Amino acid sequence: MTILSTRGLSKSFAGLKAVQGVDLNLPKGQIRALIGPNGAGKTTLVGLLCGRIAPTAGTVMFDGQDISNLPAHKRINLGIAYTFQVTSVFANLSVDENVALAARRRFSDAKVAGVVRDALEKVGLFDRADQNAGDLSYGHQRLLEIAMGLAQQPRLLILDEPTQGLAEAEVTDFKALVRDLAKTATVLLIEHNMSVVMELADQVTVLNFGQILAEGTPAEIHANQLVQAAYLGTG
Protein backbone atom coordinates (compact mmCIF):
# COMPACT_ATOMS: atom_id res chain seq x y z
CA MET A 1 0.00 0.00 0.00
CA THR A 2 1.28 3.44 -0.98
CA ILE A 3 0.84 6.21 1.58
CA LEU A 4 2.27 9.07 -0.51
CA SER A 5 2.65 9.48 -4.24
CA THR A 6 3.32 12.30 -6.67
CA ARG A 7 2.75 12.55 -10.40
CA GLY A 8 4.45 15.13 -12.58
CA LEU A 9 5.18 17.26 -9.53
CA SER A 10 6.93 20.46 -10.57
CA LYS A 11 7.85 23.85 -9.15
CA SER A 12 9.38 26.83 -10.92
CA PHE A 13 10.61 30.05 -9.36
CA ALA A 14 10.87 32.94 -11.84
CA GLY A 15 11.78 30.54 -14.62
CA LEU A 16 14.09 28.36 -12.54
CA LYS A 17 12.84 24.75 -12.57
CA ALA A 18 13.55 23.68 -8.98
CA VAL A 19 11.53 20.45 -9.23
CA GLN A 20 10.68 18.86 -12.59
CA GLY A 21 8.12 16.14 -13.22
CA VAL A 22 8.77 14.08 -10.10
CA ASP A 23 6.90 10.76 -9.85
CA LEU A 24 7.39 9.36 -6.35
CA ASN A 25 5.79 6.33 -4.68
CA LEU A 26 6.27 5.87 -0.94
CA PRO A 27 4.92 2.60 0.52
CA LYS A 28 3.47 2.48 4.02
CA GLY A 29 5.98 1.55 6.72
CA GLN A 30 9.06 2.26 4.62
CA ILE A 31 12.10 4.31 5.57
CA ARG A 32 12.87 6.23 2.38
CA ALA A 33 15.96 8.39 2.06
CA LEU A 34 16.01 11.34 -0.30
CA ILE A 35 19.53 12.38 -1.26
CA GLY A 36 21.21 14.62 -3.81
CA PRO A 37 23.80 17.37 -4.16
CA ASN A 38 23.21 20.87 -2.84
CA GLY A 39 20.72 22.67 -5.06
CA ALA A 40 19.17 19.43 -6.32
CA GLY A 41 15.69 20.52 -5.21
CA LYS A 42 15.29 18.37 -2.10
CA THR A 43 14.03 21.12 0.22
CA THR A 44 11.65 22.40 -2.47
CA LEU A 45 10.28 18.89 -2.93
CA VAL A 46 9.74 18.56 0.82
CA GLY A 47 7.93 21.92 0.81
CA LEU A 48 5.62 20.61 -1.93
CA LEU A 49 4.91 17.42 0.01
CA CYS A 50 4.10 19.13 3.30
CA GLY A 51 2.12 22.01 1.79
CA ARG A 52 4.43 24.92 2.49
CA ILE A 53 4.92 25.45 -1.27
CA ALA A 54 2.22 25.27 -3.95
CA PRO A 55 3.10 23.24 -7.05
CA THR A 56 3.39 24.78 -10.49
CA ALA A 57 2.14 21.49 -11.94
CA GLY A 58 1.42 17.91 -10.89
CA THR A 59 -0.33 16.19 -8.01
CA VAL A 60 0.37 14.96 -4.48
CA MET A 61 -1.70 12.04 -3.15
CA PHE A 62 -1.78 11.00 0.51
CA ASP A 63 -3.43 7.70 1.39
CA GLY A 64 -5.60 7.90 -1.71
CA GLN A 65 -6.62 11.56 -1.26
CA ASP A 66 -5.52 14.37 -3.57
CA ILE A 67 -3.86 16.92 -1.27
CA SER A 68 -2.16 18.98 -3.98
CA ASN A 69 -3.96 22.18 -2.94
CA LEU A 70 -4.30 21.54 0.80
CA PRO A 71 -2.45 24.00 3.09
CA ALA A 72 0.18 22.69 5.48
CA HIS A 73 -2.01 22.76 8.62
CA LYS A 74 -4.64 20.56 6.97
CA ARG A 75 -1.97 18.08 5.88
CA ILE A 76 -0.82 17.93 9.52
CA ASN A 77 -4.38 17.02 10.49
CA LEU A 78 -4.28 14.15 7.99
CA GLY A 79 -1.13 12.77 9.63
CA ILE A 80 1.84 14.40 7.88
CA ALA A 81 4.50 15.85 10.21
CA TYR A 82 7.84 17.36 9.25
CA THR A 83 10.94 18.94 10.72
CA PHE A 84 12.76 21.81 9.10
CA GLN A 85 16.31 21.90 7.76
CA VAL A 86 16.92 24.86 10.09
CA THR A 87 15.67 24.46 13.66
CA SER A 88 12.39 26.22 14.32
CA VAL A 89 11.85 25.68 18.04
CA PHE A 90 10.41 28.42 20.23
CA ALA A 91 13.55 29.48 22.08
CA ASN A 92 11.77 31.29 24.95
CA LEU A 93 9.48 28.39 25.77
CA SER A 94 10.43 25.28 27.71
CA VAL A 95 11.11 21.96 26.01
CA ASP A 96 7.83 20.68 27.42
CA GLU A 97 5.86 23.67 26.12
CA ASN A 98 7.33 23.35 22.64
CA VAL A 99 6.15 19.76 22.34
CA ALA A 100 2.78 20.58 23.90
CA LEU A 101 2.15 23.21 21.21
CA ALA A 102 2.71 20.57 18.55
CA ALA A 103 0.58 17.99 20.36
CA ARG A 104 -2.38 20.37 20.57
CA ARG A 105 -2.62 20.33 16.79
CA ARG A 106 -3.95 16.78 17.02
CA PHE A 107 -5.10 16.12 20.60
CA SER A 108 -7.38 17.48 23.30
CA ASP A 109 -5.85 19.12 26.39
CA ALA A 110 -6.64 16.01 28.45
CA LYS A 111 -4.33 13.89 26.28
CA VAL A 112 -1.52 16.38 25.69
CA ALA A 113 0.55 15.70 28.84
CA GLY A 114 0.82 11.97 28.11
CA VAL A 115 1.65 12.54 24.44
CA VAL A 116 4.36 15.06 25.38
CA ARG A 117 5.93 12.70 27.90
CA ASP A 118 6.02 9.84 25.41
CA ALA A 119 7.59 12.01 22.70
CA LEU A 120 10.28 13.41 25.00
CA GLU A 121 11.13 9.98 26.37
CA LYS A 122 11.55 8.62 22.83
CA VAL A 123 14.10 11.26 21.87
CA GLY A 124 15.87 11.23 25.25
CA LEU A 125 14.91 14.74 26.36
CA PHE A 126 12.46 14.02 29.16
CA ASP A 127 15.00 15.02 31.82
CA ARG A 128 15.25 18.44 30.10
CA ALA A 129 11.50 19.08 29.95
CA ASP A 130 11.66 22.25 32.08
CA GLN A 131 14.70 23.72 30.32
CA ASN A 132 14.28 26.63 27.90
CA ALA A 133 14.54 25.37 24.33
CA GLY A 134 16.92 28.21 23.48
CA ASP A 135 19.39 26.94 26.07
CA LEU A 136 19.68 23.51 24.44
CA SER A 137 22.65 22.61 22.29
CA TYR A 138 22.00 22.68 18.55
CA GLY A 139 21.93 18.89 18.46
CA HIS A 140 19.36 18.73 21.26
CA GLN A 141 17.25 21.33 19.47
CA ARG A 142 17.19 18.99 16.48
CA LEU A 143 15.96 16.19 18.75
CA LEU A 144 13.34 18.53 20.22
CA GLU A 145 12.05 19.21 16.73
CA ILE A 146 11.72 15.48 16.16
CA ALA A 147 9.80 15.21 19.44
CA MET A 148 7.48 17.95 18.20
CA GLY A 149 6.86 15.90 15.08
CA LEU A 150 6.28 12.73 17.10
CA ALA A 151 3.78 14.51 19.34
CA GLN A 152 1.47 14.75 16.35
CA GLN A 153 1.59 10.94 16.11
CA PRO A 154 1.97 11.13 12.33
CA ARG A 155 1.43 8.46 9.73
CA LEU A 156 4.17 10.09 7.64
CA LEU A 157 7.15 11.79 9.30
CA ILE A 158 9.39 13.90 7.04
CA LEU A 159 12.80 14.65 8.55
CA ASP A 160 14.90 17.30 6.76
CA GLU A 161 18.61 16.93 7.62
CA PRO A 162 17.87 15.60 11.14
CA THR A 163 21.44 14.54 12.01
CA GLN A 164 22.95 17.92 11.16
CA GLY A 165 24.73 19.14 14.29
CA LEU A 166 24.41 15.86 16.19
CA ALA A 167 27.43 14.34 17.92
CA GLU A 168 28.46 10.82 16.92
CA ALA A 169 26.77 9.24 19.94
CA GLU A 170 23.60 11.22 19.21
CA VAL A 171 23.62 9.98 15.61
CA THR A 172 23.76 6.40 16.89
CA ASP A 173 20.78 7.09 19.16
CA PHE A 174 18.97 8.79 16.26
CA LYS A 175 19.31 5.71 14.05
CA ALA A 176 17.79 3.56 16.79
CA LEU A 177 15.00 6.11 17.17
CA VAL A 178 14.11 6.06 13.47
CA ARG A 179 14.03 2.27 13.40
CA ASP A 180 11.58 2.44 16.31
CA LEU A 181 9.46 5.11 14.61
CA ALA A 182 9.20 3.03 11.46
CA LYS A 183 7.17 0.46 13.39
CA THR A 184 4.22 2.87 13.47
CA ALA A 185 4.92 5.50 10.77
CA THR A 186 6.39 5.90 7.32
CA VAL A 187 9.61 7.95 7.35
CA LEU A 188 10.97 10.17 4.59
CA LEU A 189 14.53 11.12 5.47
CA ILE A 190 16.40 13.93 3.70
CA GLU A 191 19.98 13.35 4.72
CA HIS A 192 23.56 14.18 3.76
CA ASN A 193 25.20 11.69 6.13
CA MET A 194 25.66 8.73 3.80
CA SER A 195 26.42 6.25 6.59
CA VAL A 196 23.02 7.10 8.11
CA VAL A 197 21.35 6.64 4.73
CA MET A 198 23.07 3.33 4.04
CA GLU A 199 22.25 1.92 7.47
CA LEU A 200 18.67 3.14 7.80
CA ALA A 201 16.97 3.35 4.43
CA ASP A 202 14.91 0.57 2.87
CA GLN A 203 14.99 2.49 -0.42
CA VAL A 204 16.84 5.60 -1.63
CA THR A 205 15.64 8.24 -4.10
CA VAL A 206 18.35 10.41 -5.67
CA LEU A 207 17.40 13.89 -6.85
CA ASN A 208 19.57 15.90 -9.24
CA PHE A 209 18.67 19.15 -11.02
CA GLY A 210 15.10 18.79 -9.71
CA GLN A 211 14.56 15.36 -11.26
CA ILE A 212 14.81 11.79 -10.00
CA LEU A 213 18.18 10.46 -11.13
CA ALA A 214 17.91 6.98 -9.58
CA GLU A 215 16.00 4.86 -7.09
CA GLY A 216 16.90 1.61 -5.41
CA THR A 217 18.24 -0.10 -2.33
CA PRO A 218 21.19 1.53 -0.54
CA ALA A 219 23.53 -1.04 -2.10
CA GLU A 220 22.15 -0.39 -5.61
CA ILE A 221 22.47 3.37 -5.17
CA HIS A 222 26.01 3.07 -3.83
CA ALA A 223 27.00 1.07 -6.92
CA ASN A 224 25.18 3.33 -9.41
CA GLN A 225 27.73 5.13 -11.59
CA LEU A 226 25.38 8.02 -12.39
CA VAL A 227 24.90 8.62 -8.67
CA GLN A 228 28.63 8.35 -8.02
CA ALA A 229 29.30 10.98 -10.67
CA ALA A 230 26.55 13.37 -9.58
CA TYR A 231 26.61 13.01 -5.84
CA LEU A 232 29.34 10.87 -4.40
CA GLY A 233 32.08 12.56 -6.40
CA THR A 234 33.48 9.42 -8.02
CA GLY A 235 32.95 7.36 -11.13
| C-alpha to C-alpha distance for 31 and 185, rounded to whole angstroms | 9
Predicted local distance difference test score (pLDDT) of residue 21: 97
Q: Mean pLDDT per segment of 10 residues, for the chain of length 235 residues?
A: 97 93 97 93 94 96 96 93 78 96 90 96 95 92 91 93 86 91 94 92 96 96 90 54
Beta bridge partners of 4: 26, 62
**Pairing relation of β-strands 186-190 and 156-160?**
parallel
Predicted local distance difference test score (pLDDT) of residue 199: 95
Domains and CATH numbers, the chain: 2-79+154-232 (3.40.50.300), 89-147 (no CATH)
Predicted local distance difference test score (pLDDT) of residue 192: 87
Predicted local distance difference test score (pLDDT) of residue 235: 41
Backbone angles phi, psi at 12, to 5 degrees: -120, 140
| C-alpha to C-alpha distance for 102 and 90, rounded to whole angstroms | 11
Q: What is the pTM of this model?
A: 0.91
Q: What is the 3-state secondary structure (H, E, C) of 28-67?
A: CCCEEEEECCCCCCHHHHHHHHHCCCCCCEEEEEECCEEC
Predicted local distance difference test score (pLDDT) of residue 134: 95
Q: 3-state DSSP call for residue 16?
A: strand
The answer to whether 231 touches 214, Cβ cutoff 8 Å, is no
Predicted local distance difference test score (pLDDT) of residue 230: 82
